[in-house]
Amino acid sequence: MEKLNLLSFLCIIVLFLRVTRSLTTSLRDYDTFLECLQSHTSSSDQVSNIVYAQTNASYTSILEAFVRNSRFNTPSTPKPLLIITPFSEHQVQATVVCAKSVGLQLRIRSGGHDFEGASYVSQVPFVILDMFNFQNVTVDIQNEVAVIQSGASLGQVYYRIWEKSEVHGFAAGACPTIGVGGHLSGGGYGSMIRKYGLSVDHVIDAKIVDVKGRILDKKAMGEDLFWTIKGGGGASFGVILSYTVKLVQVPEKVTVFKVDNTLEQNATDLVFEWQHVAPHTDDRLFMRMTLQPVISEGNKTIRASIKALFLGGANELVTLLEKEFPLLRLKKETCKEMRWIDSVLWLMNDNHGSSLEVLLDRSRYSKYFNKIKSDYVQTPISKDGLKWIWKKMIELGNTQLIFIPYGGKMNEVPSDATPFPHRAGNLYKIQYNVSWQEPGAVAEKNLMDQIRKLYSYMTLFVSKNPRRAFLNYRDLDIGINSHGEDNYEDGKVFGVKYFDKNFQRLVKVKTAIDPENFFWNEQSMPTLPAIKQQVENITDKRKIGYFN
């Protein structure tokens, strides 16, 4: 008994010492950082308003405001020593320079939707550079151009465009709270992907703060770096301040529909056919398919839900699908015609009665725990293959698959036009999704196991050498930079999956722009430190296996 008491007493002492030590360290970091910021800005900059120490009463709410995955919001999740929230470009420059000179790792956050928390979690002492004050979206309809700051949300982008024109939009993701900084730098796609390709296919300029704290636009950064931040992941290269994009035209009326079928309603035939129609049909039509195990009238089955957007009218759509996809038996009554901006809300949650202002509301996000993975399908899966997948999904119980059709514009853009390589030859992308509401280690392990098993079962049916993955669906299972600095071999593992043949060019740009690898995270681009010096002098890089 006494022993136990002594033990708990000691524990409390140790805990107390740890807490006080981390608080004093935090305060010391705070002072050092603030001093550095002050010396790199003018007194009118008031940098004392942009640094949140762990002891600050607002620290937790600032941190949690843009944590979008509860898996990274637990007591054991490592927390930043400081959160820096600049209001000006100048303050961003100073933040980069100071993080470097103080020797703290920097994580850059725009919307916080990273599926692995890369923008706000690190295993070493770090600070967050939070871009949420950079929300300006300046729309110029005459020239069909917008300048979008990286901390703006997609909802803000859509809303600001709609304020000026109902027949313009932008090609980007469905979830309106996603941040521009992560979304565009990671490739960014949405329901107009077949008509207009990726967000980055419309980027015409950008502003970035590099490791030396310089602000560079397209002209100053040069073609290589500009290419890189169109899908190569911003966080490996610098802090993106803004993107300048070309708007796209949308019709006055678009059409949406949703159709559900279970296996008993011949979903297998439907999914099989979908693979032959969705990636090849009129590029104005996007038919996303969600597959999940459900219980229907007491039977365990799979439900296949098609949710679609057509950039045209309902009559034209029904005629088109009668011809190309008769199995769907789409009726005019199932279709809804609406403005493009309303389809954004509809695709997000079926609920297009809400006012458009919800697009501006960044707190409107239901948080849950989740794990995501991705794959690409290049050959249609046979009916027997599909039936086997259904069996496995029903056995597992909680995993969801979403098929995202490619084709159209995606086939026309060369695979090296941007770092995003998954263009012609890819019929559709698969998103694996498992999510849950309650914390709990047992449930978490079970669900994480489920999604990993399903991923492994799917090996037969998906792309190989490399097995491709989508950077914006970040998945640390496919490889991490485990050795800190000199990590070329580690980086190659996930780098080739995300970027295929574009990996080499990304490494080359990374090595040139950030040779000391300051902009680091678990899946940042590696540099070539060992042969860095030689690379600059070597004319035939093949000799050193640089392009193997």
Active-site residues: which are they? 473
Is residue 188 near ligand FAD by the rule CB under 6 A?
Answer: yes
Contact between 61 and ligand NAG per CB under 6 A = no
Q: Which of 314, 290, 288, 281 is nearest to 195 (CA)?
A: 281
Q: Determine, following the binding rule CB under 6 A, whether residue 488 of this chain makes contact with ligand NAG.
A: no
Query: Between 263 and 430, whose beta carbon lies closer to ligand FAD?
Result: 430
DSSP structure class, residue 123: S
CB 254 within 8 A of CB 337: yes
Q: Looking at residue 488, what DSSP letter applies?
A: H
The vertex-247 CA angle with 220 and 135, nearest 5°, equals: 65
> Is 535 one of the binding residues for ligand FAD (CB under 6 A)?
no
> From the list 24, 60, 74, 136, which residue makes contact with ligand NAG (rule: CB under 6 A)?
136
Q: Using CB under 6 A, pick the residue from 86, 155, 186, 419 that binds ligand FAD.
A: 186
**Considering the rule CB under 6 A, would residue 150 count as an interface residue with ligand FAD?**
yes
Could you say which of 165, 265, 354, 411 contacts ligand NAG (CB under 6 A)? 265
Q: How far is the CB of 537 from ligand NAG (least distance, A)?
A: 4
Residue 71: CB atoms within 10 Å = 20
Among 162, 189, 286, 494, binds ligand FAD (CB under 6 A): 189
Q: Considering the rule CB under 6 A, would residue 354 count as an interface residue with ligand NAG?
A: no
Which of the ranges 26-34, 184-192, 327-335, 448-456 carries the binding residues for ligand FAD, by CB under 6 A? 184-192
- Reported for 93-96, long-range contacts at CB under 8 A and 24+ positions apart, including other chains, are 93/40, 93/209, 93/213, 93/214, 93/215, 94/36, 94/37, 94/40, 94/41, 94/45, 94/47, 94/213, 95/37, 95/129, 96/129, 96/209, 96/210, 96/211, 96/213, 96/238, 96/239
Is 429 a binder of ligand FAD (CB under 6 A)?
Answer: no
Query: Does residue 182 interact with ligand FAD by CB under 6 A?
Result: yes
Q: Are 472 and 186 in contact (CB under 8 A)?
A: yes
Our finding on whether 423 is near ligand FAD (CB under 6 A) is: no
Q: Is 87 in the site for ligand NAG (CB under 6 A)?
A: yes
> What are the tokens at 100?
């470097």
Q: Does 245 bind ligand FAD (CB under 6 A)?
A: no
Among ligand FAD, ligand NAG, none, residue 112 binds (CB under 5-8 Å by kind): ligand FAD
Told to check if 58 binds ligand NAG by CB under 6 A, we report yes
In sequence order, the 6+-apart residues with CB closer than 8 A to the CB of 69 are 114, 115, 116, 117, 367, 368, 369, 370
The reply on whether position 44 binds ligand NAG by CB under 6 A is: no
- Residue 178 binds what, of ligand NAG, ligand FAD, none (CB under 5 to 8 Å, by partner type)? ligand FAD
CA atoms within 13 A on the CB side of 7: 4
60 contacts: CB under 8 Å, gap ≥ 6: none
Among 37, 83, 104, 239, binds ligand FAD (CB under 6 A): 239
Q: Which of 40, 79, 183, 352 binds ligand FAD (CB under 6 A)?
A: 183
CB of 9 to ligand NAG, least distance (A): 33
- Check binding of 175 to ligand FAD (CB under 6 A): yes
Q: How far is the CB of 118 from ligand FAD (least distance, A)?
A: 4
**Partner that binds at residue 51, options ligand FAD, ligand NAG, none, CB closer than 5 to 8 Å by kind:** ligand NAG
Q: Do β-strands 239-246 and 248-249 pair in parallel, antiparallel, or remain unpaired?
A: unpaired
The DSSP-derived string for 317-335 is: HHHHHHHH-GGG---GGG-
What does the alpha-carbon distance between residue 168 and residue 161 come to, in Å, rounded to a whole number? Answer: 7
Tokens 């789409």 belong to residue: 330
| CB nearer ligand NAG, residue 53 or residue 480 | 53
CA distances (Å), 447 to each of 77, 150, 537, in order?
19, 33, 50
What angle, rounded to 10 degrees, do the helices at 154-164 and 340-349 form? 160
The yes or no reply on residue 240 touching ligand FAD (CB under 6 A) is: yes
**3-state DSSP call for residue 366?**
coil
| Binding residues vs ligand FAD (CB under 6 A) | 68, 107-115, 118-119, 131, 150, 173-175, 178-179, 181-183, 185-190, 234-235, 239-240, 472, 521
| Binding residues vs ligand NAG (CB under 6 A) | 48-52, 56-58, 87, 133-134, 136, 264-266, 296-297, 299, 400, 433, 435, 533-534, 537
